[in-house]
Amino acid sequence: MAANMFRHNIGPNGEVLEMRDLLGREVRGDPIVVNDTPLPISLSGEFLLFLNDNKLPNGRVNPLQNLRPEEVAMFGKPYREWAPAPFNNTRNPAESAANLFMFAFSGMEDLFDFSAILGGRFEGLSMVDYELGFNKQRAWGGLVPLSDRRLREKGLHQLDDSLPPKRFVYAIDHLEKTDVFLYFNIPERLGKMRKAYNRVYEHLAHFDQALASYYARRQEPRDPNSPGKAAELWAEFFFSRVEFMTTRAHQWYMSHANALHAQLVEMLRTQPPQAGDPRGGTRNQLEVLVQRRTKAELSLLIPLTGFKNPLAHWKRLSSPPIVNWTYHLNARGAFPIPAGTYPQDVGQRETVFTTRLQHLLQAQGNGSDDAIRRQTQAWAALDQVSSEMRGNMSVIPTPITEELWVTCLKARMTRSSDQQLVTYTHWGFVAYRLDYSHSHEEWSSFLAKFNSDVSAWAEAGNEEHVLGASSIKQSCKITWLDGRDHGIPENDIPAARRHFASLCETKSPLINSLLLAGDVFLVADRGAISSYLNPPSLPGQESIDTSDLKSHIVLVQGSNFNAEQAARDKEAPGYSGLVWVAGCALFEDVFPGLFMTLYEPKQLWNISACHPGGVYLGAPLAKYQWQLWKGFNELQFELIRVAMVELLDGSSLIGRQLRDARNGR
């Protein structure tokens, strides 16, 4: 517990972290901030994979001619080795299209601006709060804020008069995690993303020119009908990705918002208005839901005006028609919003949206005293304005039926054997048993409970909770290794790291056909096994949602973990290469994020450190969870402090200090 309470380094900024030490004094230190690149680094690797497998988000086949394999190879070779003049006249002998492409993601203007590199001056970088950085990376990967399974587990899918009003507040808190898309709409942030994207486009256009010159010099036509162009492929890939991430987030939001709205309207229909606290009334909840949905409709869009694009089917995003929004506002919303268009500025977007919404409500006679009719009309009006602003011209098929990570996983597993050294038959984790004190019966009981926990991620009954899960669930696997069989001493994590590294390096048959999430593995230590044999509980308290008390397994970072670097890392203070992860989150949250390289284990550690038990539950934390956990941590910490005062009883210096602090001296 102490490690979780004091996970922040004491730093020179002296900011109050809302923590107190054993003497009751405020703990001061640096808030945790992380580097935010203008484009996610993971996107660069995915684009290179796209050049090989030709698959776009949602499994859509690339409509463009792709590069030939030998051209992809030339992409990674220095220009001086293959390109004719003037393209081979580079400042650096090693300069290639690939390294210029990769470098553009970092926010650097110039590959040879050594003073900026050594001084850490990366123009495109931003420093953001670690939770914002975590949520932004998830959004890029198309991961939803909360899985349907977890939503039902927390009871937030169902509302009725027998449940406390806070249930509605909690559900809204989770829906509001889509607010991260507002970050993409900040003009400065959007400008950095546009600049980085265009720089990538220019580097790839330069590569296309070099290729054309190469074939012209050799008098060898590439493909007279439809030669592949890297710059066009980049535009297709990027615009498809942005369209997918906004569409998936909007689809997730609306599926749950529609369900909440239908239940609230039914409650209004069958039950009289609640007396007493007006904030808990059904009418007020419906009004809040309308307000929150309006906010989501405005934020779940990313304007791409000015992003270089030669493709006609994406022009509606890169070069939308010019609209006289003043004319629309002067007409008080009487005219429909031109399909698929909206103001780039969020503030003006809100004005246009609400003006049009108010006109529709007035036209429908929203002054009626019939509360049910009024609420139904308001929701229908929102549907209409949303349809106008978002348009129905989506290039990707809707509704989305497969998560992005599922699509990428299937593409990776089905890639032909000539494109990779091994053909994968399964995907998942390697897990080590490193506690040898439990009996055979206890170990068997642990395995049964653990397997039941981790297998609940894909389906519940006949309803799929992760889109596309049924197509990959059968190949999901955890390969267990008993540490005793491999000479690993009990609880020896470094020895397990070395053994895991040797398995990967030697391409051991034990794991050779298993597609891993990265350089990570699982460990069942004494604490993990005990958490399943005796699940955590807090009887008699209401401050912690019982669905947040989870058994766990240990996620271990592999051989690339460096203890000395971790000790100096201000982005994850206290991280030791281990994260306690709820078993139920392994395959619906942890694996997707690590497999898509959206984040590293240390980011999971930061989120887990806020949990009373130090467990990563999966998905971003809602506001109410932060508040409840913070209050519980403070209460538990105060009880520890009081117990220490009683134990020491003033018989030592620290005992007297604790006693005086408790008495306010």
Query: pLDDT band at residue 543, thresholds of 50, 70 and 90?
Result: low
Mean predicted confidence (pLDDT) in 501-514: 91
Question: Which residue would you say has higher pLDDT here, 509 or 423?
Answer: 509
The pLDDT, as a whole number, for residue 363 is 86
pLDDT tens digits, 477-495: 999 999 999 999 999 999 9
b/e sequence 451-464, b meaning 16+ C-beta within 10 Å: eebbbbbbeeeeeb
| Model confidence band, residue 617 (pLDDT cutoffs 50, 70, 90) | very high
Predicted local confidence at residue 624, as pLDDT: 80
Least trusted range by pLDDT, from 43-52, 155-164, 184-193, 207-216: 155-164
Tokens of 364: 């429908």
Q: Cα 85 to the chain's mean position, in Å?
A: 44
Cβ contact 107:192 at 8 Å: yes
- Number of Cβ within a 10 Å radius of residue 449: 17
In terms of residues, how long is the chain?
665
pLDDT average, residue stretch 84-96 = 93
pLDDT of residue 129: 86
CA distance 39 to 103: 11
Q: How many CB atoms sit inside 10 A of residue 531's CB?
A: 25
Question: With 90 as the cut, is the pLDDT of residue 194 above it?
Answer: yes
In the prediction, which pLDDT does 570 show? 85
Please name which of 599, 637, 633 lies closest in space to residue 618, comparing C-alpha atoms.
Answer: 599
The domain locations on the chain are: 2-31+624-662, 41-390, 405-537+548-621
Q: Output DSSP code: residue 658.
A: H
- The pLDDT of residue 415 is above 80: no
Comparing CA positions, the residue from 533, 421, 412, 550 lying closest to residue 472 is: 412
Cα dist from 533 to 157, 441, 442, 443, 559, whole Å = 29, 11, 8, 9, 30
Distances in whole angstroms, Cα of residue 547 to Cα of each of 34, 285, 629: 30, 24, 13
Chain-wide mean pLDDT for the chain?
A: 84
Question: 17 — alpha (psi -120 to 50), left (phi > 0) or beta?
Answer: alpha
d(CA 226, CA 65): 6
Q: In the prediction, which pLDDT does 573 show?
A: 85
Task: Quote the tokens at residue 66.
Answer: 């792709």
Structure confidence at residue 103 as a pLDDT band (50, 70, 90) = confident
Compute CA distances 199 → 38, 92, 125, whole Å. 11, 19, 15
Q: How many whole angstroms separate alpha carbon 372 and alpha carbon 361? A: 14
The pLDDT value recorded for residue 485 is 97
Rounded Cα distance, 498 and 492, in Å: 10
Cα 558 from chain centroid? 22
Residue 140 and residue 193 in contact, taking contact as beta carbons nearer than 8 Å: no
Phi-psi region of 125 (alpha: psi -120 to 50; beta: other; left: phi over 0): beta
Neighbours of 290 (CB within 10 A): 18
DSSP string, 267-312: HHHHSPPPPS-GGGSHHHHHHHHHHHHHHHHHHS----TTS----G
Please say whether the beta carbons of 411 and 55 come within 8 A.
yes
**How far, CA to CA in Å, does 12 sit from each of 7, 30, 346, 606?**
16, 7, 37, 21
Q: State the pLDDT at residue 111.
A: 60
Examine the pLDDT at 561 and tell me if it is beyond 70.
yes
> Are 562 and 499 within 8 A, CB to CB?
no
pLDDT of residue 417: 44
The predicted pLDDT at position 278 comes to 43
Task: Classify 368 as helix, strand or coil.
Answer: coil
Q: How far is the C-alpha of 624 from the C-alpha of 172, rounded, in Å?
A: 10
Pairing type for strands 615-616 and 578-582 reads parallel
According to the per-residue pLDDT averaged within each range, which of 23-32, 107-116, 253-262, 542-551 is highest?
A: 253-262
The band of 638, judged by pLDDT with boundaries at 50, 70 and 90, is low
Higher pLDDT, 383 or 128: 383
Please, what's the b/e burial string for 245-282 (b: 16 or more CB within 10 A of its CB; e: otherwise)? bbbbbbebbbebbeebbebbbebbeeeeebeeeeeebb
Which of 24-33, 275-284, 396-405 is predicted most confidently? 396-405
Identify whether the C-beta of residue 174 lies closer than 8 Å to the C-beta of residue 148.
no
Report yes or no on whether pTM surpasses 0.85.
yes
d(CA 484, CA 596): 33
Share of the chain above pLDDT 90, in %: 52
Report the C-alpha dihedral over residues 600, 604, 606, 608, rounded to 10 degrees: -160
Helix (H) or strand (E) holding 657: helix 653-662
User: What burial letters (b/e) apply to 128-138, b meaning 16+ CB within 10 Å?
Assistant: bebbbbbbbbb
pLDDT band at 113 (very low <50, low <70, confident <90, very high): low
Residue-by-residue DSSP string for 450-476:
HHHHHGGGSEETTEESSTTGGGTGGGE
Sorted by sequence, the CB contacts under 8 Å of residue 50 that are 6+ apart come out as 56, 62, 233, 237
CA distance 410 to 342: 35
Where is mean pLDDT largest: 204-213, 506-515, 531-540? 204-213
Residue 236 reports pLDDT greater than 80? yes
- Using CA atoms, how far residue 488 sits from 436, 485, 496, in Å, is 11, 8, 7
**Eight-class DSSP state of 24:** S
Mean pLDDT on 452-474:
80
Instruction: State residue 2's pLDDT score.
Output: 31
